[in-house]
Amino acid sequence: MGVIRTDQWLLSDYKNPIQLCERLAGYFQASAEEVYDYLYLHGMYFPTDKGEKSLNTLLQKNPWKVVEAEYEILSELWGGPDIPIFLFPIDESVYRVQGEGKSGLAFHDKLFLFLSDAIPTSSLRALLTHEYNHVCRLIQYPKLEDEYILLDTIILEGMAEYAVLERFGTSYQANWLSFYTEMEVQEIWRDVVYPNKDVRKTAIKHQEVLFGTDAYPTMAGYCVGYYLVKKCVDANHLTSRDLLKLPTKTIVELATT
């Protein structure tokens, strides 16, 4: 499978994303409308005249070729699964304003990347590394995704961001890693995340703590997850591949003892 040539889909169906999503319905066992609504929530484009111009630039840059080459490297590096990867333009009305220009959505059996025409190749490679690491974790760690609790999710995110560090260094990592000092992250772990560590993925509080909405510190779960994974790796001389099959509780224990 690998990278699906969605550039060809976009050339014919950019202005009708519902029709485009007819090709994706079988991957979700859902209607094209339901698929588009779901993908749009995670960054997929809404057709506009400006967006069509951006699409032309994106097609010229050919991120499909970059992702295919990186995917081959990562699948060998981590012994990862052979999955379809779908690239689409991003909803620029939201993500360009936020300064991101990229978003990803990972499942155990497929992966979506949503990109602006301005994304540098280096950022694209880092994005794929983060998202494909999620895929490898979901497929190699024997726990159903709908059984995840907050502790599982923050470790999932921490592992993916550590994988970016391992491959590309600190300059390619997410900006939220600079939000807090190590002491502040320790306090967030103790006072915010740990008391909610068993909250299930289906609960509202799970997302609130993970992203730091409502009264919680910004990106609280992400920052703590990376902190714990980095502590585990440094103390035990592990690699990203070593982490993939380790139970969440084992990683936390190795990080905190």
Whose CA is closest to 83, among 167, 164, 4, 163? 4
pLDDT in tens, 75-122: 999 999 999 999 999 997 775 445 567 899 999 999 999 999 989 999
- What pLDDT score does 15 carry? 95
Percent of the chain having pLDDT more than 90? 86
Instruction: Please tell me the predicted confidence (pLDDT) of residue 101.
Output: 78
Condensed to tens digits (0 to 9), the pLDDT of residues 169-189 reads 999 999 999 999 999 999 999
Which is nearest to 132 in space by CA: 68, 88, 177? 68
Residue 96 has a pLDDT of 46
pLDDT value at 203 more than 50: yes
In sign, the C-alpha dihedral spanning 37, 135, 167, 222 is positive
Burial class (CB in 10 A: 0-12, 13-18, 19+), 52: middle
Strand 84-89's sheet: what is its strand order? 2-3, 84-89, 111-115, 102-106
**CA 112 – CA 7 distance, rounded (Å):** 13
Q: Worst-scoring range by mean pLDDT, 40-44, 97-101, 155-159?
A: 97-101
User: Hey, which residues does 114 pair with through a beta bridge?
Assistant: 88, 103
Please compute the mean of the pLDDT values over residues 48-59 and round it to a whole number: 91
Average pLDDT over residues 48-73: 94
Sequence ranges of the domains in the chain: 2-140, 145-256
Summary mean pLDDT of the chain: 94
Q: Is the per-residue pLDDT at 223 higher than 90?
A: yes
Helices (H), 105-198: 121-140, 150-168, 182-188
In terms of Cβ atoms closer than 10 Å to its own Cβ (0-12, 13-18, 19+), residue 8 is exposed
CA distance 239 to 237: 7
At 79, the amino acid letter reads G
Q: Is the confidence at residue 237, as pLDDT, over 50?
A: yes
SS3 of residue 109 by DSSP: coil
Q: Given a cut of 90, is residue 191 above it in pLDDT?
A: yes
Measured in whole angstroms, the distance separating CA 121 from the mean position of its chain's CA atoms is 17
**E strand or H helix at 169:** none
Residue of 91, 79, 189, 181 lying closest to 137 (CA atoms) = 79
**Mean pLDDT for the stretch of residues 184-201:** 97
Instruction: Report the pLDDT value the prediction gives residue 100, as an integer from 0 to 100.
Output: 62
